[in-house]
């Protein structure tokens, strides 16, 4: 089984709808991250969390919110989706010690019409 899973893998929705993307991990990591990737661009950090009670905004948090329901679960919500939020969304995890490398989930492809 994959260490970091994301659901759904693909989603098409309409402008104004509320959407939730979910991320679960079995790596036992404390830190979890949400990124978006637009075609030809690198990864932009939306939100990150270092434990259940710690939530931090990234560089592009406007229009998004998150919930850390448990150490293993980190959800991203689009309160009112708009077309320019069409992108590939990745969840990532890392441990709090050692080399701090991040491990990515398979991604969710979101299309907002």
For binding to other proteins (CB under 8 A), which residues are involved?
31, 33, 40-45, 48, 50, 58, 88, 90, 99-107
For residue 100, is it left (φ>0), alpha (ψ between -120 and 50) or beta?
A: left
* Of 27, 4, 32, 17, nearest in space to 108 by CA: 4
Q: How near is the Cβ of 80 to other proteins at its closest, in Å? A: 27
Q: How near is the Cβ of 109 to other proteins at its closest, in Å? A: 8
Q: How near is the Cβ of 83 to other proteins at its closest, in Å? A: 20
Contacts of residue 1, defined as CB under 8 A and 6 or more positions apart, other chains included, come to 26
- Considering beta carbons, is residue 84 or 100 the nearer one to other proteins? 100
- Considering beta carbons, is residue 17 or 57 the nearer one to other proteins? 57
Contacts of residue 69, defined as CB under 8 A and 6 or more positions apart, other chains included, come to 52, 75
Q: How near is the Cβ of 111 to other proteins at its closest, in Å? A: 14
- Considering beta carbons, is residue 42 or 62 the nearer one to other proteins? 42
Token duo for residue 88: 């590939």
**CA gap 12, 6 in Å, rounded:** 15
- Considering beta carbons, is residue 15 or 96 the nearer one to other proteins? 96
């Amino acid at each position: 089984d994959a260490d970091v899973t994301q659901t759904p893998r693909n989603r098409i929705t309409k402008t104004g709808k509320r959407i939730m993307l979910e991320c679960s991990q079995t790596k036992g990591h404390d830190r979890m991250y949400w990124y978006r990737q637009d075609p030809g661009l690198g990864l932009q950090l939306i939100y990150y969390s270092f434990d259940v009670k710690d939530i931090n905004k990234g560089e592009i948090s406007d229009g998004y919110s998150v919930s850390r329901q448990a150490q293993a679960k980190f959800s991203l919500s689009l309160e009112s989706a708009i077309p320019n939020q069409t992108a590939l969304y990745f969840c990532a995890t890392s441990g709090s010690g050692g080399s701090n490398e991040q491990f990515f989930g398979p991604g969710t492809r979101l299309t907002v019409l």
